[in-house]
């Protein structure tokens, strides 16, 4: 979990998982761009809209715009070096 400026992990071994850490760092960048509180308000709002639409937690979670960007780029460990400002925006309608 990313809560600016920290990445919180459940297990000690997760600290060494480069893909997981990259995923969470993408969220840190999103939080910096939007501001922490607005990020979480939009995150929660988007989740609730998706939950109403899709009726199940997992599909709703996977369709949150911020998660789409993070999951689709978590394996690219150079993603944050080339990421454009507000990079999540292109995932809004996908």
Domain boundaries, the chain: 2-91
pLDDT at 94: 64
Q: At what angle do helices 18-34 and 36-54 cross, to 10 degrees?
A: 110
DSSP percent split of the chain into helix, strand, coil, nearest 5: 70, 5, 25
pLDDT band, residue 9 (cuts 50/70/90): very high
3-state secondary structure of 46: helix
Decide which of 18 and 92 is more confident: 18
Average pLDDT value for residue range 4-21: 95
Return d(Cα 40, Cα 31) in angstroms, integer.
8
Chain center to CA of 18: 15
Model pLDDT for residues 39-92, shown as the tens digit of each residue: 999 999 999 999 999 999 999 999 999 999 999 999 999 999 999 999 999 988
CA–CA distance from 82 to each of 38, 40, 48, 49, 87 (Å)?
Answer: 24, 24, 31, 30, 10
């Amino acid at each position: 979990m990313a809560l600016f400026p920290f990445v919180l992990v459940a297990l000690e071994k997760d600290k060494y998982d480069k893909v997981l850490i990259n995923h969470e760092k993408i969220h840190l960048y999103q939080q910096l761009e939007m501001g922490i509180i607005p990020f979480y308000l939009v995150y929660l709002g988007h989740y609730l809209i998706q939950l109403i639409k899709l009726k199940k937690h997992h599909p709703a979670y996977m369709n949150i715009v911020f998660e789409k960007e993070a999951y689709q780029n978590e394996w690219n460990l150079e993603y944050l070096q080339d990421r454009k400002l507000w990079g999540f925006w292109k995932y809004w309608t996908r």
